[in-house]
Amino acid sequence: MTSNITKKTVFLTIPNYIFASDLLRTNYIKYLSGVYKVIVVSPIIGIKEVNEFGYFNSGNILYVKRNLEHSKFWNIFKFLRITLVNEFDNLNYFKQFYLRDNFKKNKKRRFVRFLGKPLKTILTADLFTSLERFLMPVPKDIAELFISFNPDLIITSTPGLNPFEAELIISANKKRIPTVAIDFSWDNLTTNAKHIRKTDYLVSWNNIMKQEAINIHKYLPEKVFVSGPMRFDSYFKNYETEPTRDEFLKSKRLNPINKTIFYTTVTKAYPFQKQYLKELLNLRESRRIPYVNVFVRIHPRDEYDNYREFFNCKDFYFEKAGNEIIDENRNKNIEMNKEDLLNLKYSLKYTDININYASTISIEACVFDKPIINIGYIGIYGMAYNFDHYEPVYKSGAVILAKTEDELGEYINIYLKNPDKDSENRKKIFDNFFDFKDGFSYKRSVDFLYKIIK
C-alpha cells in the first residue's frame, strides 16, 4: 500500500456490542487503523468506555459517541417496511412470518397491508429508502462530523438493518460519501431483507451471500467482495497457549474420561430449550446413552438463571457466552472479547457432539468436523429449518434433526460410536461457507477498501 492511503479517513459504525466484539476485539481495528485514519462512531462507546473497558486505541483512531436522533421516524418506517414491502414474499422466512400469531393477531398491521395491496409492486425496500432519504434531514451532529473530518468512506457493520446505521448511510448518501457494509451475518440478506438500506458496496462472508446480494437485492457483482467471516478467523490459527483437550475439559470441571456433548442455547425468546436439557439428562440417567459430560454454553441473550435447576447435576457445566459490560444507564450487555472467541473455538474442538437450534454454531461445528444434532421441531419452531439461510445446511445431511426424545438418544448413540458419520456432508458445508481458511478475513475486508477509495 502506498503512503498516501494513510491520509484517507473512514468512519466505522459500531451500533451495539455484537459488532464491538467482531470489529473492536479482533485484529480488524488494528489493521484498519494502520492503513486509515479511523473515526469510530457509536451510541455505546466513547473515550470513557475505551479507557474503562480497554478497547484498542491509537493515534489513528478517534472514538465519537452519539445517539440516534430520529428514533420515532425510524420506528414508523420499521412498521411500514414490515407491513408493506412485498418483494421478498417468495423467501421462505416471510412465507412463514405471515403465519405467526404476532402478525395474524395484529389487526393494524393486517389492515395497513390490505390497503397497500394495490401498490405492492412499487412498495419496495428501495422505495422506502428513497422516502427516508427525502424525509430525513441530516442530523446536525452528523453534518458537523462530516465537515470536521471529511470522510472518504463510511463503513457500517450491516447494510442499514438498524436505525443507527441507517441514519449514517442515508446521511452519507445525501453527501455523496460512499458506503460499505462489512459485518452482516449469513441470514441478514434474507430474514432481514425488508430492513436493508443498500450500501454502495458489500463485503460478505462467502460466495453464497454474494449471490444473495446480487439475486435478491440487485447489487452489481463488482460491488460485492468476499472476505470470509472475520468472527471466525481464530478457528484457522494455532496459538502457542492452546490447551490440550484434557486441560480444557478440566478447566470446565468436566471429566476428560467421558465423551462430551456441547449444548448451545439461543435467545430467551425460545422457551423450549430446557425441555431438551431435561431429555438429555433423562437419557443419561436411564442409561439409554453412555454417561457423558454435558457442556452448556448459554447465548448472550438467554437467561443464565433459567437453568439453575440443572446447576447441581454432576458433570454438567454451564457458562454464559461473553463478558458482561454494565453501561452508564446500568444496563447489562454482553460482549465477546478475544479470549471468549478462543474459548468457543476450544469448546467446539474438544467436544464430541454439538446440539443446537438452527444456529450459526452448525456451520462452526463443521469447521472442526463435529457431529451436529438439531432440535426445536415443535410447532412454529420447526419452521426455522426451512428458512432460506438454514435450509441448505439442513438439507445437506451435515446436520440431523431429532424430533423425539428417543430420536435424540438414538442419534447421540450413533454419533458417539461413529463420529465420522456424515463427515463428507459436513466438509461440503465447510467448503461452501468458508471460501478462505487462512485466518485473514479481517485483512481482506480492509484491503478491499482500497478498490473503493483509491
Looking at the structure, do residues 272 and 252 belong to the same domain, yes or no? yes
Looking at the structure, do residues 49 and 180 belong to the same domain, yes or no? yes
Over residues 154-162, mean pLDDT: 96
Looking at the structure, do residues 265 and 213 belong to the same domain, yes or no? no
Over residues 274-298, mean pLDDT: 94
Q: Is residue 149 part of a domain?
A: yes
The most confident of the ranges 109-113, 299-303, 426-430 is 426-430
Q: pLDDT class for 136, splitting at 50, 70, 90?
A: very high
Looking at the structure, do residues 421 and 446 belong to the same domain, yes or no? no
> Which residue is associated with the grid cell 467436544?
351
Q: pLDDT class for 271, splitting at 50, 70, 90?
A: confident
Containing structural domain, residue 393 = 238-433
Which residue did the predictor score with more confidence, 378 or 313? 313
Q: pLDDT class for 382, splitting at 50, 70, 90?
A: confident
Q: pLDDT class for 3, splitting at 50, 70, 90?
A: very low
**Is 4 a residue whose pLDDT tops 70?**
no
Looking at the structure, do residues 219 and 257 belong to the same domain, yes or no? no
Q: pLDDT class for 198, splitting at 50, 70, 90?
A: very high
The number of domains in the chain is 2
Looking at the structure, do residues 402 and 360 belong to the same domain, yes or no? yes
Q: Is residue 15 part of a domain?
A: yes
**Is 406 a residue whose pLDDT tops 70?**
yes
Q: Is residue 114 part of a domain?
A: no
Q: Is residue 33 part of a domain?
A: yes
Q: Is residue 86 part of a domain?
A: no
Looking at the structure, do residues 255 and 137 belong to the same domain, yes or no? no
Average pLDDT of the chain to the nearest whole number: 93
Q: What is the pLDDT of residue 163?
A: 96
Q: What is the pLDDT of residue 1?
A: 42
Q: What is the pLDDT of residues 205-230, one digit of tens each?
A: 999 999 999 999 999 999 999 999 99
Q: pLDDT class for 91, splitting at 50, 70, 90?
A: very high
Q: What is the pLDDT of residue 301?
A: 84
Over residues 66-79, mean pLDDT: 94
Q: What is the pLDDT of residue 273?
A: 86
Over residues 398-423, mean pLDDT: 96
Q: What is the pLDDT of residues 332-381, one digit of tens each?
A: 788 888 899 999 999 999 999 999 999 999 999 999 999 999 998 777 77
**Is 295 a residue whose pLDDT tops 50?**
yes
Looking at the structure, do residues 396 and 268 belong to the same domain, yes or no? yes
Q: If DSSP states are collapsed to H, E and C, what string results for the chain? A: CCHHHHHCEEEEECCCHHHHHHHHCCHHHHHHHHHCEEEEEECCCCHHHHHHHCCCCCCCEEEEECCCCCHHHHHHHHHHHHHHCCCCCCCHHHHHHCCCHHHHCCHHHHHHHHHHHHHCCCCCHHHHHHHHHHHCCCCHHHHHHHHHHCCCEEEECCCCCCHHHHHHHHHHHHCCCCEEECCCCCCHHHHCHHHCCCCCEEEECCHHHHHHHHHHHCCCHHHEEECCCHHHHHHHCCCCCCCCHHHHHHHCCCCCCCCEEEEECCCCCCCCHHHHHHHHHHHHHCCCCCCCEEEEEECCCCCHHHHHHHCCCCCEEEEECCEEEECCCCCEEEECCHHHHHHHHHHHHCCCEEEECCCCHHHHHHHCCCCEEECCCCHHHHHHHHCCCCHHHHHCCCCEECCCHHHHHHHHHHHHHCCCCCHHHHHHHHHHHCCCCCCCHHHHHHHCHHHHHC
Looking at the structure, do residues 426 and 444 belong to the same domain, yes or no? no
Looking at the structure, do residues 306 and 410 belong to the same domain, yes or no? yes
**Is 2 a residue whose pLDDT tops 50?**
no
Which residue did the predictor score with more confidence, 371 or 99? 371
Residue 21: which CATH number? 3.40.50.2000
Candidates 303, 319, 310; CA nearest to 268 is 303
Looking at the structure, do residues 413 and 287 belong to the same domain, yes or no? yes
Pairing state of beta strands 9-13 and 153-156? parallel
Query: Comparing 100-109, 161-170, 441-450, which segment has the lowest mean pLDDT?
Result: 100-109
